Amino acid sequence: MEYVIAGLLFLGLSFLFIGLYVLNKRTPKPEGCEQADIEECSGCAMKICPRHPKDQKEDE
């Protein structure tokens, strides 16, 4: 019985995450923010990040 509850809980939370992920992807970004996540990423120093700003890459 415990394993059934554990399985149901795991499946329930997994579906919750998948559902929220899909809803999040479908939610349109606000106006003017379509490219914002890339343009606003200039503070990030993670060079392996695919959104690493070009000016930092040129400095290398």
Of 20-49, binders to other proteins (CB under 8 A) are 20-21, 23-24, 27-33, 36-37, 40-46
What are 42's two structure tokens?
Answer: 């200039």
Least Cβ distance, residue 57 to other proteins (angstroms):
14
13-44 b/e (C-beta count within 10 Å ≥ 16 → b): eeeeeeeeeeeeeeeeeeeeeeeeeeeeeeee
Which CB atom, from 31 or from 58, has the smaller least distance to other proteins?
31
What are 32's two structure tokens?
Answer: 């003017």
Q: Which residues bind other proteins (CB under 8 A)?
A: 2, 5-6, 9-10, 13-14, 16-17, 20-21, 23-24, 27-33, 36-37, 40-46, 51
